[in-house]
Each structure stands twice: as C-alpha cells, then as structure tokens.
C-alpha cells in the first residue's frame, strides 16, 4: 500500500511540475504580451492584498496625518502636538450648543463649514478605499479619530432638520489678530443656513460627509454610524427642498469660500447616500433629471472643495465597475463613467487630450493660490480609478486614438506625489516635516508663536514679521505650493504660497494612503 502510494504520488508530482512549468511559461508569455501590447478588452493583472510598503509614502503619510491634530479645536484629550493645547471651548455658546470640536481652516482660527465638511468626506473616502493600507502603516486609527473630531462637530452644528451652523468666528476680526488659538479672546459669532437663507451647497456637502463617515464607522460603532446617516438624510432633504447657494443667501461668505454652484454637491451627496443606504431613490436622483441638469457630462472639471463633479463621476464609476445589474447597466451611469475617463485622459501627460495646465516638470497647475490642491486631488482620483480598473480586470481606457492602462494612471499619481515630496526643481518638500528641506516659515499662527509667549491680538504680529523660522513645526502641513515657474518664496507673509489648509491635508492623506503599498483589491463599502 505504501509503495503504490509513493509511486502514485511521484507520478502526480511530476505531472504537477509540468503543469506549473507550463503555467509559468504561459504567464510569462501573457505578461510580455501585455507589456508590449495591451489589446482592447484584455484583462488587467489581478491585484492582491496590501503588499510591500513604500517607505517614503509611509513616512509622508505619518507626517501628513499630524497636521489634522495640529488643526484640532476644543479640549484635546489625547493631545499629540506638544505646542498645542485646549482652545475655543466656548464655541457655539450663542446658540447653546457645543461647537468646541472641529478643525481650524488654515493658518487662522476660523471654522468654515463648507471646506471642513469636504475635508471629512475626502478623509472618509480614503479610509473606505484604503483603510487596509492605512492599517498596515498604523495610520488607520489616527485617520478615524480625526474624522470623528470633525463629524462630532458637524452633528452638533446641525441644530434641527433645516438649520445648519456653517461658520464659527468673524473672519474680519479673526484676521486682524495674530495669536495662538489657546489665547484668542475675539468674539466667535455663528452663521447658519436655514429655510429663509438656504445653502444647498454647504448642506449637501455636510450630508456627503455624514453619509460617507457613516460607512467608516459602521463596522466599529453602529450606533454612531446610524446617527450620522440620520443627519445625512435630513441634511440632503433640506438641501434639495430649499435650493439656493449659501454664497447668495449670505454674501459675506463670498470673500473666503465662495461657492460657484450647488448642483455638484447635490449629486455628490446623493451618490454617497446611495452607497451608504443602497436606497435606489438616491441612484435615481443622480441618473434622473438632476443628473441631466447638473452632471455636465463629458466636460472634465477639477476636483476641489468647490466643485465635486469629478469626484462624483469617479465615485459613481464604482457602481459601474462593481454594482448589481439593476444599476451597473444604466445608460446614464455610463455617462458618469465616460466623464470620469475624460478626467483621467486629461491628467495623463501622453494622452491626446492631456491638459496643458501643468508646469515644465509635469505638476498639474491651475491656480496661484493654493496651487497644490488640484494636482494632489487629481492624483488621488487617478489612484482610485486605477484600482477600480485593476479590481474589475479592466485593461485600459481609451483617450481618443490611444489607450492607457491602470499602471499609466498610477504613474501619473506617483509623479504628482513625488513632486510634492521633493522631486522638483527647488528640491523642496512641500509637506512640512517630511525630508530634510521643507518650508520653515509656514503661514500659521500657532506654529509661529513660542508656547511661552504672552501675546494678545495685536502684539502677536511681531511673530508674523519675525525673520526667524517658526519655533514650532507644523508637521504634516501641505503648503500652498509653487508658482507656475516652479519657484517658492518661504515667507510667513506669503500666504498665497506658504499657508496650509485642513482640506489640503485631506487630499494628501488620501493620495498617500493609495500609494503607501502596492495596489489593493477594492473592497465593498458595506
């Protein structure tokens, strides 16, 4: 019995060797074929779970995550930033509500609800797509903690079904001071949107933040997840029923975060609510008359705190790639996917439809103010779309007469990330705290003033004008970035280039989370 078994095992073993050898040879042939010619419809390589960690992106992600801690308002229970302390503990008191949490917008002490909600939505999206990769490098819990710091604030800011506080602080008074948040004494008035002064854009963005965050917290705190989803539904109903731009309702907000329209936020919020609920009414919303009115299919746009169309198109492509037959076969859904591909084609430098809006070194460049927000956000969308393609075995996209692979999209994304991290003509890391050469004069009050300095509103300006580097490192701050000629002036008074923002942190965290390990299989949100 034993001899026969060994003989049989030996024959099977040789057969197995021959099969494996043939499979390897075939695999090599297919790989070579793909490398030289990716034919239409040919399946892309199947990605695996998080693979090898790319150290530079892991280090950069660790740095980037810290700026979210730097920006936290309120009572800092587990404070990770030695030069920060409790601040704005009475925020919300005029309305008898606790708005002490949330995050300061940039180098100032304002809480602007519109970009803060966008920060939460992007942070949620990055966790949902790349939480497994964040976990590998111990950044998942910090990301969840920072997200909850914002959503706790947003929950309290939603006073009732049709009332949302969208700003804490007076920007004119705030910008007349240069002080640490721990020491500020200026008044902190509140601004709200309601049925008389609607704000579909800010209300819908806040709904998107709540809906996406509800998915993040669903597996770890179902009660909190349910609370967020409840607020998301109410806010979306308010935004949709009482239509109007908050910039038109409240003209005073136009100076800082003027909204150019609310249709994109309505589609963005409905898309997130569909993912969070699987309620087909939200799918019908984006594929029906509202999609026809607001989607602007076929016209690529830049993803930002003000315009969510490109993000919406990529997010809805997720359904096209992985959804059930009753949704993924929708002709209107295909329009979103085609529009997303048009965005990708515009980003790829060798595409026939590539945008010319980039520096000589290849950085996407759209605006002098906060130049880095667009390339980083665009690169994040490219990584996400690349991984959608990989996970669905989609080999390529067509850009007019040329075709491009997931690897092409990832290459573009890494080029933007690497530029930010120092691979640029200035050899400067625009991510503070990463590398050896980064901005030392960041336009940020708390970072510029020594912890033991006793300054008030006005006399603190000596620190703005000081010729010495910041005494505190605003670790993880993504500064505004270079001019079109790729120069950067490291000066605190150069707010155009040297001021970081919280929403910039969200997109750089998202991008780095997608790059920190080799591409992972896209997971279901539910």
CB 73 within 8 A of CB 87: yes
Mind listing the pLDDT tens digit for each residue in 343-368?
999 999 999 999 999 999 999 999 99
Domains of the chain: total: 1
Query: Would you state the pLDDT for residue 471?
Result: 98
Pairwise CA distance, residues 191 & 119, whole Å: 19
Q: What is the pLDDT of residue 26?
A: 35
- Our CA dihedral for 423, 425, 426, 427, rounded to 10 degrees, sits at 30
13: in domain = no
Residue 59 belongs to some domain of the structure:
yes
Specify which residues 165 forms β-bridges with.
192
DSSP β-ladder status, 158-160 and 190-193: unpaired
The beta-strand segments (E) located in 317-410 are: 397-399, 402-404
* Structural domain contains residue 20: no
Residue 290 belongs to a domain with what CATH number? 1.50.10.10
Q: Which amino acids are annotated catalytic?
A: 443
- Token output for 224: 């909190």
Residue 35 maps to a domain: no
**Residue 255 belongs to some domain of the structure:** yes
Number of other CB atoms surrounding residue 49 within 10 Å? 11
Residue range(s) defining the domain that contains residue 446: 55-515
Average pLDDT per 10 consecutive residues for the chain, totaling 526 residues = 32 35 36 33 53 93 98 95 97 97 97 98 97 95 98 98 98 95 94 98 98 98 98 98 98 95 98 97 96 94 98 96 80 96 98 97 97 98 96 94 96 98 98 97 98 91 97 98 98 97 98 88 72
> What was the pLDDT predicted at 454?
87
Q: Domain for residue 6, yes or no?
A: no
Q: Could you give the 3-state DSSP secondary structure of residue 87?
A: strand
pTM summary value: 0.90
CA distances from 313 to 97, 262, 298, 319, 336 (A): 36, 16, 10, 10, 5
d(CA 37, CA 430): 37
In a domain, 210, yes or no: yes
| Surface-to-core class of residue 170, CB atoms within 10 Å of its CB (0-12 exposed, 13-18 middle, 19+ buried) | middle
The answer to the question of residue 259 being in a domain is: yes
Residue 125: its H or E element: helix 113-136
Q: How does pLDDT run across 394-433, given as a tens digit for each residue?
A: 999 999 999 999 999 999 999 999 999 999 999 999 999 9
């Amino acid at each position: 019995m034993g001899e026969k078994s060994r003989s049989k095992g030996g024959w099977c073993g040789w057969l197995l060797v021959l099969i494996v050898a043939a499979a390897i040879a075939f695999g090599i042939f297919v790989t070579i074929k793909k490398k030289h010619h990716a034919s239409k419809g040919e399946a892309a390589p199947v990605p695996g779970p998080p693979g090898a960690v790319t150290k530079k992106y892991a280090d950069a992600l660790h740095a980037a995550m810290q700026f979210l801690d730097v920006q936290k308002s309120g009572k800092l229970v587990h404070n990770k930033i030695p030069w920060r302390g409790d601040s704005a503990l009475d925020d919300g008191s005029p309305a008898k509500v606790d708005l002490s949490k949330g995050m300061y917008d940039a180098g100032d002490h304002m809480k602007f609800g519109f970009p803060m909600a966008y920060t939460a939505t992007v942070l949620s999206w990055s966790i949902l797509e790349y939480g497994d990769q964040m976990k590998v490098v111990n950044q998942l819990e910090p990301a969840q903690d920072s997200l909850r710091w914002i959503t706790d604030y947003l929950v309290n800011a939603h006073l009732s079904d049709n009332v949302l506080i969208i700003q804490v602080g007076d920007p004119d008074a705030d910008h007349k001071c240069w002080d640490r948040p721990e020491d500020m004494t200026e008044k902190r008035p509140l601004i709200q949107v309601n049925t008389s002064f609607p704000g579909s854009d800010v209300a819908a963005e806040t709904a998107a933040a709540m809906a996406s965050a509800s998915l993040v917290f669903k597996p770890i705190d179902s009660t909190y997840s349910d609370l967020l989803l409840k607020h998301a539904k109410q806010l979306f109903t308010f935004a949709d029923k009482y239509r109007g731009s908050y910039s038109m309702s409240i003209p005073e907000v136009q100076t800082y975060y003027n909204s150019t329209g609310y249709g994109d936020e309505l589609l963005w919020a409905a898309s997130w609510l569909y993912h969070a609920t699987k309620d087909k009414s939200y799918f019908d919303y984006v594929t029906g008359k509202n999609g026809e009115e607001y989607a602007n299919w076929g016209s690529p746009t830049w993803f930002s705190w003000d315009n969510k169309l490109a993000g919406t198109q990529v997010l809805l492509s997720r359904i096209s790639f992985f959804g059930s037959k009753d949704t993924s076969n929708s002709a209107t859904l295909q329009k979103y996917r085609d529009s997303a591909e048009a965005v990708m084609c515009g980003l790829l430098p060798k595409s026939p439809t590539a945008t010319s809006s980039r520096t000589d070194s290849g950085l996407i460049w759209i605006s002098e103010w906060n130049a880095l927000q667009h390339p980083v956000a665009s690169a994040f969308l490219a990584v996400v779309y690349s991984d959608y393609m990989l996970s669905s075995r989609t080999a390529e996209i067509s850009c007019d007469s040329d075709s491009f692979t997931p690897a092409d999209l990832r290459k573009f994304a890494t080029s933007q990330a690497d530029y930010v991290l120092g691979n640029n003509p200035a050899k400067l890391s625009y991510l503070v705290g990463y590398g050896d050469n980064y901005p030392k004069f960041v336009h940020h009050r708390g970072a510029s003033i020594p912890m033991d300095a006793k300054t008030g509103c006005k006399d603190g300006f000596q620190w703005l004008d000081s010729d010495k580097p910041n005494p505190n490192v605003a670790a993880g701050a993504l500064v505004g970035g270079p001019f079109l000629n790729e120069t950067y002036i490291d000066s605190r008074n150069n707010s155009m280039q040297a001021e970081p923002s919280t929403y910039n942190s969200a997109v750089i965290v998202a991008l780095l989370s997608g790059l920190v390990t080799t591409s992972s299989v896209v997971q279901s949100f539910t």
